[in-house]
Amino acid sequence: MLSPSKQFLMLALSCAVAGAAGCASTAATSSVARLNVTPVPRELEKVSLPVYRVEPPDILLIESVNNIRPEGAPLRAGDTLEVMLGNPEPLTPVDPQANPIESQYQTDLEVRFKHVSGPYLIQPDGTLNLGPIYGAVQVAGLTPEQAEQAIAEHLKRYTADEAGNPVGLKDPLVSVTLPDISGLQQVAGEHLVRLDGTISLGVYGSVYVAGMTLEEVKYHVESHLSAHLQSPEVSVDVLSYNSKKVYVVTDGGGYGERVVTLPVTGNETVLDAISQIQGLSEVSSKKIWVARPAPSGAECAQVLDVHWEEITREGITTTNYQLLPGDRIFIEADHLMATNNFLAKLIAPVERVFGVGLLGLGLSQRIEFYEQQGARGGVGGGGGF
């Protein structure tokens, strides 16, 4: 392989120079020696293609290496919270010597508050059920810090004493943590570039990527996910190259032309493309050329003659060109086969007319014959009587 600067130069020249076979000319007028000096990538002189730009219907492989919900993200139903209560203190301290029963009640209360600690699942209605004694607290939509305050306020007034007066803790210390900090959905796997140029990121919406390089796709995906995840980081690669193609056109010798599309992965040559259509057909000739597309409005296109026998029988790689996206390989039909097919199509209607005429003539003669035989039979029978 050549250096990147030389590769770029050769690729640019190959798209601009039409000296290999003239302007829009299919005549094989160039010798191998002259073709060898044209700056066109070949089997042993390949160049790296330009930076790949994503288009429909490419398939991208996107893997998220950081799938953490952002700080302050609201809690939602189905989350599990780890609730811890520390240093419970009764509202009104009681002297155990003066009122042992009330002191024991508050001691039991403190023990029960200590039992609040543990994992709790946020229910479908958005509440955190702390048990039959403590009741439920609405926490869905709150941040973990707001949930701490809501639980603390709830525990101050959660129950009542034997006289019906509310009893709680004074300034309970509540800590809430979220064990599972992963986002709503893991961004991973295959992502098809859709017709509108976007890819789907599941519950995170869609991102427009058509015409972008992989680095640009990575930047836009991470920017989009930053609204849903904490410092998202993704890796992007192309899993299936579907948008860049070359076309192999096979002349049918008067019976149409067959077109086969082949994906471009950056390393194909003329021989590779023809091998993928199982070689030359029975009606094909050895006259082959590569037509390189020109911009809209251009009056001149680059046409590269292919010397098939030299490539296959002699191993000369001069005309075994490296294919670029959009190239057309045209395989002309054998002239004798084309002439034979032309004559067959030309004569077929005449043969059909003559065939129908001869069939009608034969049928009329047969009918006339049977009529004559019937007439003779009738005369003979009458004479017998």
DSSP letter string over 308-329?
A: HHHHHTS---TT-BBP-TT-EE
pLDDT in tens, 314-356: 999 999 999 999 999 999 998 888 888 888 888 888 777 777 7
CA separation, residue 82 to residues 79, 105, 127, 135, 143 (Å): 10, 27, 14, 17, 14
pLDDT in tens, 279-295: 998 899 999 999 998 88
Position 15 pLDDT exceeds 60: no
CA distance 198 to 4: 31
Residue 253 confidence (pLDDT):
87
Among residues 263, 244, 245, 250, the alpha carbon closest in space to that of 329 is found at 250
Residue in the structure block whose two tokens are 């129908």: 356
Which strands sit side by side in the sheet containing 173-177, from one edge to the other?
118-121, 80-86, 173-177
Position 238 pLDDT exceeds 50: yes
CA distance 291 to 179: 62
Position 29 pLDDT exceeds 70: no
Residue 377 confidence (pLDDT):
66
Position 273 pLDDT exceeds 90: yes
19 three-state secondary structure: coil
Contact 168, 152 (CB under 8 A): no
Of the chain, the percentage scoring pLDDT greater than 90 comes to 32
CA distance 289 to 319: 9
Position 381 pLDDT exceeds 70: no
CA separation, residue 337 to residues 264, 284, 329 (Å): 32, 8, 20
pLDDT in tens, 58-111: 999 999 887 778 777 888 888 888 888 765 544 444 445 555 555 554 555 554
Contact 244, 264 (CB under 8 A): yes
Residue 98 confidence (pLDDT):
54
* Helices and strands, number each (H, E), in the chain: 8, 17
pLDDT in tens, 104-144: 545 555 545 555 678 888 898 999 888 776 778 899 988 88
210-225: average pLDDT: 95
Residue 322 confidence (pLDDT):
94
Position 237 pLDDT exceeds 80: yes
The region, left, alpha or beta by phi > 0 then psi within -120 to 50, assigned to residue 377 is alpha
More confident residue, 91 or 200: 200
CA distance 83 to 108: 20
Residue 39 confidence (pLDDT):
75
Among residues 112, 125, 55, 36, the alpha carbon closest in space to that of 307 is found at 36
More confident residue, 337 or 311: 311
265-288: average pLDDT: 92
Q: Which two tokens stand for residue 338?
A: 């084309």
Taking all residues of the chain, what is their mean pLDDT, rounded to a whole number?
Answer: 79
Residue 287 confidence (pLDDT):
93
H or E stretch covering 63: strand 59-66
Among residues 51, 54, 325, the alpha carbon closest in space to that of 191 is found at 54
Highest mean pLDDT pick, 77-91, 162-176, 371-385: 77-91
Residue 272 confidence (pLDDT):
95
Residue 260 confidence (pLDDT):
95
Q: Residue-wise over 323-346: b if at least 16 C-beta within 10 A, else e?
A: bbbebbbbbbbbeebbeebeeeee
Residue 366 confidence (pLDDT):
80
Residue 385 confidence (pLDDT):
39
Residue 357 confidence (pLDDT):
77
Residue 34 confidence (pLDDT):
53
The structure's pTM equals 0.65
Residue 222 confidence (pLDDT):
93
Residue 13 confidence (pLDDT):
47
Contacts of 138 (CB under 8 A, 6+ apart): 126, 127, 128, 150
264-285: average pLDDT: 92
Contacts of 318 (CB under 8 A, 6+ apart): 32, 35, 36, 42, 307, 310
